[in-house]
Amino acid sequence: MEKHLDYDSVSNTLSQQGIVVDGAEVHGTLCGMLCGGMSLTDQKWLEILADTTNQGEPFSEPVKQVMTTLFNQTCHQFLEAEFALQLMLPDDQTPINDRGMALIHWVQGFMLGFGLYQQDLMQCSDDVKEALEDFADISRMEEPMNEDEESERALYEVVEYVKISALLCFSELGQSLLEDQQHHPSVH
């Protein structure tokens, strides 16, 4: 069983390799690509991710390994039962504003990844369009939060909303993944 990646391990690998995005943004971008309709068997996702997060430079081997593990982990979460998706965010001990920023990075990444695969929003359902509008609003949130229970609850609710919205996008536009899996046994 591959080690389950978390925000810190991915962010640390990226920063050690001189890549200026954090684990949240990379995970958001991957989720956006998958939710926008990228095929699970699409081998170009790594190049696309390098283009968008590493100024077009190919990833180093350590980053490739982490990204491949992250990709597999993310695909499994989307294909598992309801709501298995975990947004890659710092843990609850992290100061709330750092978690809030990471959520904003995740959402910005998601919108970027989604846009790469889904240019035609006219064919999306109203629910997906609304979710993307909300994501746009979330991505612009700049208000610092207080370290209090009310802010914790608010952040938790936004995170849950983002997760459910991503799953909604996936179930509507990412279904090709499931079809891919049935028709093409995966080859590793």
pLDDT of residue 52: 87
pLDDT of residue 122: 82
pLDDT of 177 above 70: no
Reported as a pLDDT band with limits 50, 70 and 90, residue 174 is confident
In terms of CATH, what superfamily is 7-183? YgfB uncharacterised protein family PF03695 (1.20.120.740)
pLDDT of residue 146: 92
Q: What angle do CA 49, 52, 94 make, to 5 degrees?
A: 80
Of 167 and 55, more confident? 167
pLDDT of 40 above 70: yes
Of 3 and 97, more confident? 97
pLDDT of residue 83: 67
Categorise residue 90: left if φ over 0, alpha if ψ from -120 to 50, beta otherwise.
Answer: beta
pLDDT of residue 186: 43
pLDDT of residue 188: 39
% of the chain residues with pLDDT over 90: 66
Q: How many whole angstroms separate alpha carbon 31 and alpha carbon 169?
A: 10
Taking residues 44-51, report their average pLDDT. Answer: 91
pLDDT of residue 121: 80
pLDDT of 2 above 60: no
Categorise residue 165: left if φ over 0, alpha if ψ from -120 to 50, beta otherwise.
Answer: alpha
Reported as a pLDDT band with limits 50, 70 and 90, residue 183 is very low
Domain ranges of the chain: 7-183
Q: What angle do CA 139, 95, 8 make, to 5 degrees?
A: 80
Taking residues 94-113, report their average pLDDT. Answer: 96
As a dihedral over the C-alpha atoms of residue 91, residue 51, residue 165, residue 162, rounded to 10 degrees, the angle is: 30
pLDDT of residue 3: 63
Each residue of 9-38: pLDDT tens digit? 999 999 999 998 999 999 999 999 999 998
% of the chain residues with pLDDT over 70: 89
